[in-house]
């Protein structure tokens, strides 16, 4: 569920040129011409996208068994929701990002050189805590309680503290902090603070429920195994979310548009300096081939890959998904984002 950060300029440019007829000058591809390639070359059974630009909405799909209203698993896009909750609590002075994990969860992080007394909430949010990723042991297929996930992590020494190292454990711990501070689970807090106020009627934290709400299609592994039924505790606060295309567009538009966080805390969320430009707090930037930078997150969980990106003000947003675990051709994602956000020439 780590962010895909493949931005190889030469392969992408070659792929775009290959889409143009040999007898004419190169024509910039559109999202509609690129989306079928996620199926034909990306190895997905089906793909869909939903884009918003002001009052304009555009939907497209490719392949069979996928629809605009489908519910699907969103994987690590969950992290943007969790980060938003933590920053809301910081804005309310109920915690500080400089608080240590030990202050909120005494004794939790101890072992193999890991020490919650020197680990801040900020370092969890931007993945510089050094905590090992528990899914490297479980491969994202073993349902766990948060405490079990942490215990697996503590069998490994930490990475270099202060260096960016994407870890699902960071956000599992943040979910525990939210519960400790509020007295309610992160799922309940997300419902009352984000989901209900924004009217995200297709979004939920399913807990241990293995089925998807209707309507939904099917989800597949790369070898075609049907994994639609899945225990979300394989990811917990790092990747449990179930949602829809429309809800993700609405959420990121509201977040980046300043509806969920005061401006100071939204700037904090987008501050990537500690992670050397790679990650903020539940968001990461991506500089496209035309020089425009978009903000968002991706999500990978068994049987589903999702990507949402938006302009920095949230006025333009795109979410696309495939109903399998990963895209076989990594150049297709940046090409699709460029087709949506880069200015088109006549």
Helices (H) and strands (E) in the chain, counts: 13, 10
Report the alpha-carbon distance of residue 196 to residue 177 in Å, rounded.
22
Q: Rounded to whole angstroms, what are the CA distances from 238 to 112, 173, 194, 271, 289?
A: 22, 9, 17, 20, 30
The 3-state DSSP class for residue 47 equals: strand
Report the alpha-carbon distance of residue 299 to residue 74 in Å, rounded.
5
What burial class does residue 10 get, using C-beta atoms within 10 Å of its C-beta: 0-12 exposed, 13-18 middle, 19+ buried? exposed
Locate tokens 């293995």: which residue? 210
**In what helix (H) or strand (E) does residue 48 lie, and over which residues does it extend?**
strand 46-53
With contact defined as beta carbons under 8 Å apart, do 38 and 332 qualify? Answer: yes
Beta carbons within 8 Å of 130's beta carbon, 6+ residues apart: 114, 119, 123, 158, 159, 160, 161, 162, 163, 165
With contact defined as beta carbons under 8 Å apart, do 251 and 203 qualify? Answer: yes
- Give 300's DSSP letter: E
Q: Which residues are catalytically annotated? A: 76
The 3-state DSSP class for residue 152 equals: helix
Report the alpha-carbon distance of residue 118 to residue 43 in Å, rounded.
44
């Amino acid at each position: 569920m780590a962010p895909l950060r493949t931005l190889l300029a030469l392969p992408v440019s070659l792929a775009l040129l290959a889409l143009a007829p040999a007898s004419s000058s190169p024509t910039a591809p559109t999202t509609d011409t690129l989306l079928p390639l996620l199926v034909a070359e990306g190895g997905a059974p089906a793909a869909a996208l939903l884009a918003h630009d002001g009052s304009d909405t555009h939907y497209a799909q490719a392949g069979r068994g996928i629809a605009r209203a489908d519910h699907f698993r969103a994987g690590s896009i969950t992290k943007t929701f969790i980060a938003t909750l933590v920053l809301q609590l910081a804005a309310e002075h109920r915690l500080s990002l400089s608080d240590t994990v030990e202050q909120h969860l005494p004794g939790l992080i101890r072992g193999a050189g890991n020490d919650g007394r020197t680990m801040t909430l900020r370092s969890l949010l931007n993945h510089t805590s050094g905590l090992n990723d528990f899914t490297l042991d479980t491969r994202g297929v073993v349902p766990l309680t948060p405490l079990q996930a942490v215990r697996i992590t503590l069998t490994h020494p930490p990475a270099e503290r202060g260096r960016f190292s994407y870890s699902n454990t960071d956000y599992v711990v943040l979910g525990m902090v939210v519960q400790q501070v509020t007295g309610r689970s992160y799922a309940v807090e997300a419902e009352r603070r984000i989901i209900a106020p924004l009217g995200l009627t297709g979004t939920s934290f399913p807990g241990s429920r293995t089925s998807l709400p209707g309507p939904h299609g099917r989800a597949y592994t790369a070898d075609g195994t049907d994994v639609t039924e899945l225990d979300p505790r394989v990811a917990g606060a790092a990747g449990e979310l179930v949602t829809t295309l429309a809800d993700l567009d609405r959420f990121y538009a509201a977040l980046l548009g300043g509806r969920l966080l005061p401006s100071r805390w939204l700037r904090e969320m987008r501050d990537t300096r500690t992670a050397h430009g790679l990650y903020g707090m539940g968001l990461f930037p991506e500089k496209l081939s035309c020089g425009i930078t978009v903000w968002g997150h991706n999500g990978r969980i068994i049987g589903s890959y999702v990507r949402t990106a938006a302009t920095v003000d949230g006025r333009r947003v795109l979410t696309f998904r495939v109903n399998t675990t990963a895209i076989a051709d990594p150049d297709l994602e940046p090409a699709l984002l460029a087709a949506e956000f880069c200015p088109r020439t006549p």
